[in-house]
Structure 1
């Protein structure tokens, strides 16, 4: 390859994922690009992100089309170096972020630390589900020629570009080359107005990690990304017949992005979790009446019904903590039930891009009004495709309000790796016996799916009855919380 041509390979965008969907190009062949300028929008798992360029120069080739799924490590874009052909080494050296400049072994150790943590699931990623610590079975990448860099360059040096691993290819900054490895970490800092010069990296040789940037941000949020345009493949051939049914094929839709992530998670849940289900009908009349009274007093500051139920759920999980755990099997076959000192309450949110489950962190510390505000905020960012990995992948228990779809109940699939999910059906008028007399009441159905490995039916029924009683007598329940 010409030393004047720089090839940026699709980096691992989180959790060792092996592919990403190219949603949209933000540049075209012939465009001039700068370091950290967004060049493409890509989607992987449940998040979408703008990928910044680690190089400055002229776009020479785009390796892929919108709607195409690209493998991590494959060429994404080729960029001709800025000033190429001028005959001046000084013009070429600053733009070549992977110039192969000699440096200390400590800096190479920093790069290796990044690679190792990325493979192990350290949390030093920008998008994806989050990172399951100690997860195995991910993508393996043979280490190629190592690259060393220095913080200060005495004289410009023009040398042939070395071969880099996809995770670190073209990800350094002139003048501070060892400070930041990942271009996505740099973009995260830039989007939140954080100066990298003011951050002391906690990695080897001062490597700035994602956690260092997060620590400098008071309210971290994911980089803004417009809603993706879905691309579906047409039928393989007009009028082609399906071999099994004999019917004409009307369309073939690739399973990718959110749908692929949901399919993988649900399959894993069904194959690994021996789940059981318990349910109960609940008279929610008193809860609706209490909320209606609160709404008269504060029309614009009254929590929704889901927020009150969420408050009852967190109280119930404190009483029955076995349902707020995780079941783990180690490589040697040993098994553990992992408990948590706190509750991250997930809730299912339907979006244009598919079903996602953002979670309210430390939900047990929030009032119903605070839970309502956080649920509304997370629903908005999830539907905009801006939810962070932490918001999407840190739940310990899921609350699913499928009543909004007009159904009474559901045999839900547990949101792996959690061990339980509570579903709430629609609230409708039903005949109900009150003090020995028949009356019309507002009734809903609660359904609890639970992992039978972590508890027995007595625990599950106890939790479900606790939440049901709180809904039927909300005033007394809230007084005790």
Structure 2
């Protein structure tokens, strides 16, 4: 018997992923919970375990391909290695098997489990016959499949798969799944405005893909659309890079931040000489290493406790400013996958040593960018250290929906006036960008001045510990 391993729900509202690499190939034997593929979502790279044993018959997606939740990844022949087919030997007969839960690909026994952690996904061995649901909430048909209901519609001359599909803004057809609605929205139309070919006039994926193909062909045909075909702007030597995966999420977040947040930026040059001296003394007295980022992060946490309005977000639906009780410190990190912002939760409860250790864990994982999805959400304030990139200053974009971000530039030898005399000091450039809906200039200025004071005179920080 063949079983299809479908891309599970990845959680966090994620509906698609890119196949990074296959860990198996057609003809390979696999066991339950064996990792078979690595996929990259907008949040992280994860390895997926196979939920049943057998021999791989078909690999449905090539490396680099984008797949959606519910799409088949591989087909497994569970009988090829003598595996007992689901439903035999004490299982529930097909005629009496429980009805599948709407929206699920397989019914699984609730008493056994392997501990898979992906939302809506498990690797429990089923004691029941594998049942694929059909109808409104069942598995989507192949794009070229024509349901009987659609064939009848076409034969009657009504709008359907047999005729050119037309959008009707007054139509409110039911849609088989959020994935189909998303596919339509990504192509600029509402799936509910299409005639459905499924039972009860449900709009299926095939209806949406057919409309996309038809309308695209019509636009490409000047005789039917009246439009002049657009020339391809690509010239020899140009390279097209898809905006997908993490890059797509970053682009959407940055665009939304610029679009919705009226941000303002303030900045300050700070003498960091005493900070470096204090760091050296601390390391000598404890025998432990402390990074400049860890020290500044601890000052930032203390500053947010003094000026909590910067640890906020805006709830536009309710017209409220949400001042967060927890300080979840985001750390902007440049990784091989691109810009990511892992979060140190409850940073306000950490000692300098505890915060240092958690930041070190973030730095280690930044080497490959394989952060767990849960570590990339829930931030309330972001610290962006772009000094290692060789940059003195910046006006960073706020990490939506947060209300502020502190940027730290590189530490450089610069001329500085000390007690009326010109001297060479270690100087760093700080920039704070904040949401002007949340506060005016007083609190951001107070926060920046406080952090700068701690950097210039770390001993002053002890008064607040």
TM-score, length of structure 1 as denominator length = 0.68
2:32 counterpart (13, 32, 35):
35
Note if contact 2:337-2:368 (Cα within 8 Å) is conserved in structure 1: no
1:355/1:246 CA distance change after superposition, 3 Å: closer
User: Does the CA contact (< 8 Å) of 1:347 and 1:358 recur in 2?
Assistant: yes
Deviation at 1:165, TM superposition (A): 5.4
Shift of 1:478: 2.6
1:362-381 equivalences under 5 Å are 362-381=346-365
Whether 1:401 and 2:420 are equivalent positions in the alignment is no
The number of residue pairs the alignment matches comes to: 361
Q: How does 1:195-274 map to 2 (within 5 A)?
A: 247-274=235-262
Distance (Å, rounded) in 1 between the aligned partners of 2:439 and 2:130: 63
1:61 aligns with 2:20: no
The 10-residue stretch of structure 1 (35-44 or 307-316) with the greater mean CA deviation from structure 2? 35-44
Distance 2:279 2:438 in 1: 35
Aligned to 1:354: 338
1:19 is the counterpart of 2:3: no
Aligned to 1:81: 78
**1:67 Cα deviation after fit:** 1.0
- Structure 2 CA distance for aligned equivalents of residues 360 and 369 of structure 1: 13
**Matched ranges for 1:393-432 at <5 A:** 393-432=377-416
Structure 2 counterpart of 1:305: 292
Corresponding residue number in structure 2 for 1:326: 313
User: Displacement of 1:389 after TM fit?
Assistant: 2.2
Cα RMSD, aligned residues only:
3.4
Please state if 1:279 is matched with 2:258: no
Q: CA 1:394–1:126 in structure 2 vs 1: closer, same or farther (change >3 Å)?
A: farther
Which residue in the other structure is 1:460 paired with? 444
Note the C-alpha offset of 1:313. 0.5
CA gap 1:58/1:479 in 2 versus in 1, 3 angstroms = same
Bigger-Rg structure (1/2)? 2
Q: So what's the TM-score if we normalise by structure 2?
A: 0.70
In 1, are the aligned partners of 2:55 and 2:80 still within 8 Å (CA)? no
Q: Distance in 1 between matches of 2:443 and 2:398?
A: 17
CA separation of 1:94 and 1:443: change in aligned 2, threshold 3 A: farther
Tell me, which stretches of 5 or more residues in structure 1 are unaligned?
115-123, 128-149, 168-241
For structure 2, the 5+ residue unaligned runs are 108-115, 141-229
Match of 1:315 among 302, 324, 343: 302
**Bigger RCO of structures 1 and 2 (CA < 8 A, at least 6 apart):** 1
Aligned to 2:433: 449
Quote how far apart the aligned CAs of 1:251 are.
Answer: 2.2
Distance 2:295 2:56 in 1: 54
Distance 1:151 1:296, change over 3 A: closer
Q: Does the Cα contact within 8 Å between 1:357 and 1:392 map onto a contact in 2?
A: yes
> Residue in 2 aligned with 1:93?
87
Displacement of 1:253 after TM fit? 2.1
> Residue in 2 aligned with 1:49?
46
Deviates more, 1:437-446 or 1:386-395: 386-395
| Match in the other structure for 2:7 | 10
The CA distance in 2 between the partners of 1:95 and 1:260, in whole Å, is: 49
Cα pair 1:83 1:91 within 8 Å, conserved? no
Partners of 1:10 and 1:320 in 2: how far apart? 45
Secondary structure (helix, strand or coil) at the match of 2:32 reads: coil
